[in-house]
Structure 1
Amino acid sequence: MAIITLTTDFGTKDHFVGAIKGTIYRELEDAKIVDISHNISPFNIQECAYILKNSYKAFPEGTIHIVGVDSEPTTENKHLAVLVDGHYFIAANNGVISLITASIKPDKVVEIKIPNPAHGSFPVLDVFVQVACHIARGGTLDVVGKNFNELRELKEFSPRITNDGKTIVGSVIYIDNYGNVISNIQRSLFDAYRAGRKFELQARNKRLYEVHNKYSDIINFELEPQSRKGPGDLLALFNSAGYIELAIYKSDLNTVGGASSLLGLNYRDTIIVNFL
Structure 2
Amino acid sequence: MSRIVTLTTDFGLEDEYVGVMKGVILTRAPEATIIDLSHGIERQNIHQAAALISSAYRFFPAKTIHLVVVDPGVGSSRKLILLLADGHLFMAPDNGVLGPLLEPEHFQAAYEVQCEQYYLQPVSPTFHGRDILAPVAAHLAAGLDPAAVGPALSLQALTIPARPALKIDRRQLTIRGEITGKDHFGNLQTNIEAGSLNALYGEKISSLRVLVRGETIIGIQGAYAHKDPGEILAILSSRGVLEIAVNQGNAAMFLDAGTGDKVTVKMPKR
TM-score range, shorter chain: 0.7 to 0.9
Q: Deviations over 1:48-83 (max 9, x none)?
A: 1222222222221111111111062533x2110011
User: How far, CA to CA, are the matches of 2:165 and 2:222 in structure 1?
Assistant: 23
Q: Is the 8 A contact 1:11 1:39 kept in 2?
A: yes
Paired position in structure 2 for 1:132? 137
TM-score under structure 1 length normalisation:
0.86
User: How far, CA to CA, are the matches of 1:247 and 1:25 in structure 2?
Assistant: 38
1:154 is the counterpart of 2:161: yes
Q: 1:5-24 counterparts in 2 under 5 A?
A: 5-24=6-25
Equivalent residue letter for 2:29: L
Q: Would the alpha carbon gap of residues 205 and 119 (structure 1) be closer, same or farther in structure 2, given more than 3 Å must change? A: closer
Paired position in structure 2 for 1:270? 262
RMSD: 2.1
User: How far, CA to CA, are the matches of 2:75 and 2:149 in structure 1?
Assistant: 16
Q: Would the alpha carbon gap of residues 216 and 48 (structure 1) be closer, same or farther in structure 2, given more than 3 Å must change? A: same
Q: Is the 8 A contact 2:115 2:149 kept in 1?
A: yes
**1:191 is matched with which residue: 193, 198, 205?**
198
Paired position in structure 2 for 1:106? 107
Paired position in structure 1 for 2:223? 214
How far did 1:13 drift? 2.3
Paired position in structure 2 for 1:181? 188
TM-score under structure 2 length normalisation:
0.87
User: How far, CA to CA, are the matches of 1:101 and 1:237 in structure 2?
Assistant: 28
Q: Is the 8 A contact 2:75 2:125 kept in 1?
A: no
How far did 1:209 drift? 3.0
Q: Deviations over 1:147-191 (max 9, x none)?
A: 212221223314112474522111001211121111110110111
Q: Which runs of 4+ in 1 moved over 6 A?
A: none
Equivalent residue letter for 2:41: I
Q: Would the alpha carbon gap of residues 250 and 102 (structure 1) be closer, same or farther in structure 2, given more than 3 Å must change? A: farther
Q: Secondary structure of the equivalent of 1:96?
A: coil
User: How far, CA to CA, are the matches of 1:148 and 1:52 in structure 2?
Assistant: 21
Q: Would the alpha carbon gap of residues 94 and 21 (structure 1) be closer, same or farther in structure 2, given more than 3 Å must change? A: same
Equivalent residue letter for 1:273: V
Q: Secondary structure of the equivalent of 1:49?
A: helix
User: How far, CA to CA, are the matches of 2:41 and 2:144 in structure 1?
Assistant: 29
**What number of residue pairs does the alignment pair up?**
258
User: How far, CA to CA, are the matches of 1:140 and 1:85 in structure 2?
Assistant: 17
How far did 1:245 drift? 0.9
Equivalent residue letter for 2:184: N
Q: Aligned residues: percent identity? A: 30
Q: Secondary structure of the equivalent of 1:178?
A: coil
Paired position in structure 2 for 1:241? 239
Q: Is the 8 A contact 2:217 2:234 kept in 1?
A: yes
Which protein shows a greater Rg? 1
The gaps in structure 2 that reach 5 residues or longer are none
User: How far, CA to CA, are the matches of 1:61 and 1:233 in structure 2?
Assistant: 41
Paired position in structure 2 for 1:96? 97
1:78 is the counterpart of 2:79: yes
The gaps in structure 1 that reach 5 residues or longer are 219-229, 252-257
